[in-house]
C-alpha cells in the first residue's frame, strides 16, 4: 500500500531527544524524506534519502531506516524545533508520491 | 538566491476556476521538475502531482486527475496550476516545490504558498 503512518504528536522537554516514526510498506524499498513545517511557513527539507542532511540543517537532526519504518531523531531538542514534521516517499518514477499525516512536535 | 515565487491569494465561488502561478528565479528552470502540494486548513500535506519543466509532461495524483491541469511557460520560467469546477473543499494553501536531483529528488525549494478560498 502507499500509506505512511506517523504519530499525531510527540512531546519532549528542551534538551531531550525526540524520535518521530513513519511506517509504510513502501519504505522497505524506497527512500524517505522528512520536512519541517512551522506555523505560517512553507515546509523545509531536513532529511533526504533516509539519513542525509541538506546543507544548513543542524547536526542534531538524524534520519534512520529499518524495514518498513523510518525514524527522524532530533538530539538535544531546542525550542525552535517545535513544528510539524512530515515524512514523504515515492516510487522510482514519481508516479506515486505520498506524505505521512504529520507529527506535531511539542517542546516543553 | 534560488527561489520560487507564487501568485497572490484568490477568492472564488463554487464552480469557478482558478490559476496559480509559480515563477522560478536564480537557477536553470528546466533542470528541476515542479511538484504541487495542497494543504487544507489545519491539515497535512497532500501531493497533487508534478510537471517536467523540460518537456511539459505532467503526472497527476489519482486524487486530482480530471480537475487539475499543470502547464509550463519556459519563456517566463513559470509553472501554472489550473483547477476547474472549484468546490468549497478546495479551500487550501497550494504550494509549488522544485524536485532537486542533488538531494535525491526531494522537494528542496518551496514557494511561499498561495491561499485559495472557495466560498459562495
Return the pLDDT at A1.
56
Give me the sheet containing B68-73, strands edge to edge: B3-6, B18-25, B78-83, B68-73
Cβ-count burial A23-53 (b if 16+ within 10 Å, e if not): bbebbeebbbbbbbbeeeebbbbbbbebbeb
Q: Is the CB of residue B109 less than 8 Å from the CB of residue B83? A: no
The shortest CB-CB distance from A45 to any of B50, B61, B106 is to B106
Query: What confidence tens digit (pLDDT) does each residue in A37-95 have?
Result: 999 999 999 999 999 999 999 999 999 999 999 999 999 999 999 999 999 999 888 88
Subunit contact A31:B104, Cβ cutoff 8 A: yes
Q: Which residue of B has its CA nearest to A39?
A: B42
Going along chain A, which residue ranges are E strands?
Answer: 9-12, 18-23, 32-37, 44-47, 61-66, 69-74, 83-90, 97-99, 103-107
- pLDDT at residue B1 tops 60: yes
Return the pLDDT at B43.
97
Q: Which residue of A has its CA nearest to B41?
A: A40
Return the pLDDT at A85.
98
Q: Which residue of A has its CA nearest to B60?
A: A95
Q: Is the CB of residue A18 less than 8 Å from the CB of residue A46? A: no
Angstroms from A49 CA to nearest CA on chain B? 6
- Counting Cα atoms < 13 Å in the Cβ hemisphere of B52 gives 9
Place of cell 497532500: B46
Place of cell 543542524: A58
Q: Is the CB of residue A4 less than 8 Å from the CB of residue A23? A: yes
Query: What confidence tens digit (pLDDT) does each residue in B7-53 have?
Result: 999 999 999 999 999 999 877 778 899 999 999 999 999 999 999 99
List chain A residues with CB under 8 Å of B99.
Answer: 94
Subunit contact A45:B107, Cβ cutoff 8 A: yes
The shortest CB-CB distance from B106 to any of A48, A95, A100 is to A48
The shortest CB-CB distance from A54 to any of B44, B95, B108 is to B108
Rounded to whole angstroms, how far apart are CA atoms A69 and A64? 9
Amino acid at each position: 500500500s502507499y500509506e505512511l503512518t506517523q504519530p499525531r504528536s510527540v512531546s519532549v522537554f528542551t534538551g531531550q531527544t525526540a524520535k518521530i516514526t513513519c511506517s509504510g510498506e513502501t519504505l522497505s524499498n524506497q527512500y524517505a524524506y522528512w520536512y519541517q513545517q512551522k506555523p505560517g511557513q512553507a515546509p523545509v527539507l531536513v532529511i533526504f534519502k533516509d539519513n542525509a542532511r541538506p546543507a544548513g540543517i543542524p547536526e542534531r537532526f538524524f534520519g534512520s531506516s529499518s524495514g518498513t519504518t523510518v525514524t527522524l531523531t532530533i538530539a538535544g531538542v531546542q525550542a525552535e524545533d517545535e513544528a510539524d514534521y512530515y515524512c514523504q516517499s515515492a516510487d522510482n518514477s514519481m508516479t506515486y508520491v505520498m506524505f505521512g499525516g504529520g507529527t506535531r512536535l511539542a517542546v516543553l | 538566491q534560488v527561489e520560487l515565487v507564487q501568485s497572490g491569494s484568490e477568492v472564488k465561488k463554487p464552480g469557478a476556476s482558478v490559476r496559480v502561478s509559480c515563477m522560478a528565479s536564480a537557477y536553470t528552470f528546466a533542470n528541476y521538475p515542479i511538484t504541487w502540494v495542497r494543504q487544507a486548513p489545519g491539515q497535512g500535506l497532500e501531493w497533487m502531482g508534478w510537471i517536467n519543466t523540460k518537456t511539459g509532461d505532467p503526472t497527476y495524483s489519482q486524487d486530482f486527475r480530471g480537475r487539475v491541469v499543470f502547464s509550463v511557460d519556459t519563456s517566463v520560467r513559470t509553472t501554472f496550476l489550473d483547477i476547474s469546477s472549484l468546490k468549497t473543499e478546495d479551500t487550501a494553501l497550494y504550494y509549488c516545490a522544485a524536485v532537486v536531483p542533488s538531494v535525491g529528488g526531494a522537494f528542496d525549494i518551496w514557494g511561499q504558498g498561495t491561499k485559495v478560498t472557495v466560498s459562495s
